A and B are shown apart, each in its own frame.
Chain A
């Protein structure tokens, strides 16, 4: 049978129809980003807890001076960014697993991303404000 006799939609290669179905889409990128941020957070999380414990009874000036130190400001921003990134990836999986109404699922996923970006930006701005104003 020549290609001319087939109905139009059947002329596509079967592979073209099958591509994009199934589970092999952007999952590896998500999985890997979750592990990379997890590895970063093991180090940054321990550093954060130790830093906070060192500032236990610090007054305002001491706390501000500590956050303003270049290394502390840098690591604090790295901590906050990886924390929100990791949180978005994790909450996304939880929502996808348990929310079965499509519009609620999409709404939650978008809301989580928006809030996380706002939270990350607010934290970074706060650290920069402390670090850059004398």
Chain B
């Protein structure tokens, strides 16, 4: 790879910004983030199995400012990957391939993921913070 002088695809620098490109990149990025976030699920389950002290420790970790920021990030990553994943499943079935539909569904998954994240965190914060 290193000795290739010619420009390589996908020629990012000549592309005009478009929402379909962002949804595609975000799907991968959130997928990687969620794979890292699966550590949180493991930790939660292991701490719950280990006993009351470790469970309370886990709760104080995710209730800390850094924990909350990570949780909000993972909430959005989960909802984005979920919404855009449903969009991909619909496209895999052969539907929604016209360019206008493609652009509209791209915006839909971005907006829906933000709205769902806001709803969940509005509920969490009005109910008195995480954990």
Per-residue contact bits, chain B 102-131, to A (CB 8 Å; 1 contact, 0 not): 000000000000000000100110011011
Interface residues on B, range: 20 to 34
Q: Are A67 and B48 in contact (CB under 8 A)?
A: yes
- Tell me if B99 is interfacial: C-beta within 8 Å of chain A: no
The closest CB in chain B to the CB of A133 belongs to B49
Q: Are A123 and B45 in contact (CB under 8 A)?
A: yes
**Which residues of A sit under 8 angstroms from B12, Cβ to Cβ?**
none
A88 to chain B, nearest CB (A): 9
Per-residue contact bits, chain A 51-63, to B (CB 8 Å; 1 contact, 0 not): 0010011001001
Partner of B48, one of A42, A49, A64, A91: A64
Which residues A71-117 have CB closer than 8 A to chain B?
76, 80, 83-84, 87, 90-91, 94, 100
Q: Count contacts on A: residues with CB < 8 A to the other chain.
A: 32
- Tell me if B31 is interfacial: C-beta within 8 Å of chain A: yes
Number of cross-chain contacts by CB at 8 Å: 79
Q: Are B28 and A94 in contact (CB under 8 A)?
A: yes
Q: Are B42 and A119 in contact (CB under 8 A)?
A: yes
Which residues A24-56 have CB closer than 8 A to chain B?
35, 38-39, 41-42, 45-46, 49, 53, 56
Q: Are B127 and A57 in contact (CB under 8 A)?
A: yes
A108 to chain B, nearest CB (A): 12
A128 to chain B, nearest CB (A): 9
Which residues B76-100 have CB closer than 8 A to chain A?
78, 82, 85-86, 88-89, 92
- Tell me if A69 is interfacial: C-beta within 8 Å of chain B: no
Partner of B49, one of A41, A94, A129: A129
**Which residues of A sit under 8 angstroms from B34, Cβ to Cβ?**
87
Q: Are B41 and A130 in contact (CB under 8 A)?
A: no
A residues lining the B interface (CB < 8 Å): 35, 38-39, 41-42, 45-46, 49, 53, 56-57, 60, 63-64, 67, 76, 80, 83-84, 87, 90-91, 94, 100, 119, 122-123, 125-127, 129-130
Given contacts A56-B130, A90-B35, A123-B45, 14 further A-B contacts (CB under 8 A): A42-B85, A56-B124, A56-B127, A57-B127, A57-B128, A60-B48, A60-B55, A64-B48, A67-B45, A67-B48, A87-B31, A90-B31, A94-B28, A119-B39
